[in-house]
Amino acid sequence: MNTNKDEKKLLRYTYLLCLVGFFNLAILKKPFDKGAMIMCLITCLLIGYSYFIIRKFFSDGDKYIFIFSSILASIGIIVLYRIETAAAIKQIIWFAIGVTIFILIVVLLPDLKRFDKYKYVYLVLTIILMAMGTLFGNETLGARNWVSIAGLSFQPSEFGKLFLVAYLASSLKDYESFKDLIEPAIVVMVALGFMVLQKDLGSALIFFGISVTMLYIATSKMKYVIICFGLFAVGAFISYGLFDHVRLRFLIWKDPWPYATNKSYQIVQSLLAIASGGLTGSGLGMGYPKYVPVCTTDFIFSIICEELGILMGFAIILLYFLLFYRCMRAAIYAEDNFSRLITVGYSAMIACQVFVIVGGVINMIPLTGITLPLVSYGGSSMLSTFFALGIIQKISEEGR
């Protein structure tokens, strides 16, 4: 199979997607919206130039990781431009910075195996970043997980999970017995505790998913996974009794309709938007995204399903699956346990985030306010995701 040829064909489809999406938005406005076509050109140039650099100088790694992530980011920028032009402009800037980080990691970072000895550096950074929201955070939409420094707002937990994965990979790489799991277990429980205190239930679920996945890959013992789920159930029960916001989320999840005008307004509007779009959607630019709260971040998947259809929603989930598959494929070829575990951890991080937010907006699980990776508006999420993908790309280069 000619991989280079297949990659370029997929890139051409990506350019076509951008062209069709932005041209559709441009002709909806009177007069013709030249800004949409400029956004299309910038997006295509960013993707094309970045692929050229990676392919030319680092031809061994799995380039589909970058291509699939670029397709998802392109869809996000198109939908954001339809909802709010200013958000799309900011998003394309974050996309450019994220891609730059991705390339710099691949180009400049030395052999990752030498980073396995900095376990306690990762531990300290994890605790600091997890604690920042609790100590200095501002409450936004019910969660205390945003911190402002010099006028710049960001979510410390988005970067904390990167170091948590690195710490767990460094701790679990030499697993021999149960005693090797005690310290990592304490660190994970502390991280989960900070997330519960910040009312950031989405991040708590993601951290739990990452930890259990890495634990199983490191030990191959299902009994540890069962114990983790048991402890998580106990913790969820205690949190349900102690915190009003946890009880409210479960109340809305069980039956949102009696509270449609107040407590469950967000999820009800999300469900109505998805249902109104049907299989094929109302058409890009023909829906009513402003009826859905927080439509550029938490509920962007609902807007996509409303205007582009449930079939497009399934297509996006399939793209995430393909991205996850290519990332996990890099883990198979990794040369050492640290690289293998960090790849699995970052892959699980993205997969868990997709599951939590998509499951929340369709009311399959209790709603938690997090972003859809690469698609939703958000600089913290975009940068942390491309950082993780850059590490995985680097490992795929080393493993060939």
Mean pLDDT of all residues in 256-283: 87
Decide: 214 and 165 in contact? Cβ < 8 Å: yes
Q: Quote the tokens at residue 331.
A: 């883990």
Residue the block writes with tokens 């550096």: 121
Distance, in Å, from the CA atom of 25 to the CA atom of 19, rounded to the nearest integer, reads: 10
Write down the pLDDT at residue 263. Answer: 80
Distance, in Å, from the CA atom of 135 to the CA atom of 126, rounded to the nearest integer, reads: 14
The answer to whether position 220 is within a domain reads yes
Sign of the Cα pseudo-torsion (111, 112, 115, 117, in order): negative
Write down the pLDDT at residue 330. Answer: 87
Which pLDDT band holds residue 157 (cuts at 50, 70, 90)?
Answer: confident
Q: Is residue 400 scored above 60 in pLDDT?
A: no
> Helices in 146-181 by DSSP H: which ranges?
156-172
The answer to whether position 98 is within a domain reads no
Distance, in Å, from the CA atom of 167 to the CA atom of 394, rounded to the nearest integer, reads: 18
Which pLDDT band holds residue 304 (cuts at 50, 70, 90)?
Answer: very high
The answer to whether position 222 is within a domain reads yes
Which pLDDT band holds residue 251 (cuts at 50, 70, 90)?
Answer: confident
Which pLDDT band holds residue 1 (cuts at 50, 70, 90)?
Answer: very low
The answer to whether position 273 is within a domain reads yes
What one-letter code names the amino acid at 270? S
Q: Is residue 315 scored above 90 in pLDDT?
A: yes
Decide: 326 and 65 in contact? Cβ < 8 Å: yes
Q: Quote the tokens at residue 219.
A: 């030990």
Decide: 357 and 344 in contact? Cβ < 8 Å: no
Residue the block writes with tokens 């997980």: 145
The number of domains in the chain is 1
Write down the pLDDT at residue 143. Answer: 63
Q: Which of 144-153, 284-293, 326-335 has the lowest mean pLDDT?
A: 144-153
Provide the 3-class DSSP secondary structure of residue 154: strand
Which pLDDT band holds residue 33 (cuts at 50, 70, 90)?
Answer: confident
The answer to whether position 19 is within a domain reads no
Q: What is the mean pLDDT of the chain?
A: 87
The answer to whether position 194 is within a domain reads yes
Q: Quote the tokens at residue 236.
A: 């969820």
Distance, in Å, from the CA atom of 105 to the CA atom of 93, rounded to the nearest integer, reads: 18
- pLDDT per position as a tens digit, 10-31: 999 999 999 999 999 999 888 8
Write down the pLDDT at residue 386. Answer: 94
Mean pLDDT of all residues in 322-329: 92
Q: Report in angstroms the alpha-carbon separations of 365 from 201, 240, 250, 356.
A: 12, 15, 9, 8
Does the pTM surpass 0.85? The reply is yes
Decide: 147 and 132 in contact? Cβ < 8 Å: yes
Provide the 3-class DSSP secondary structure of residue 145: strand
What one-letter code names the amino acid at 109? L
Provide the 3-class DSSP secondary structure of residue 174: coil
Distance, in Å, from the CA atom of 122 to the CA atom of 159, rounded to the nearest integer, reads: 11
Distance, in Å, from the CA atom of 104 to the CA atom of 89, rounded to the nearest integer, reads: 23
- Work out whether strand 143-149 and strand 138-140 pair parallel, antiparallel, or are unpaired: antiparallel
Beta strands in the chain (DSSP E): 138-140, 143-149, 152-154
Distance, in Å, from the CA atom of 215 to the CA atom of 229, rounded to the nearest integer, reads: 12
What one-letter code names the amino acid at 53? I
Write down the pLDDT at residue 83. Answer: 92
The answer to whether position 240 is within a domain reads yes
Q: Which of 11-20, 74-83, 127-136, 374-383 has the lowest mean pLDDT?
A: 127-136
Q: Which of 86-100, 131-145, 263-277 has the lowest mean pLDDT?
A: 131-145
- pLDDT per position as a tens digit, 353-392: 999 899 888 888 887 778 899 999 988 889 999 999 999 9
Determine the structural domain holding residue 239 and report its residue range: 112-398
Q: Is residue 197 scored above 70 in pLDDT?
A: yes
Rounded to an integer, what is the distance from CA 368 to the centroid of its chain? 13
The answer to whether position 236 is within a domain reads yes
Furthest-apart CA atoms within the chain: distance in Å: 69
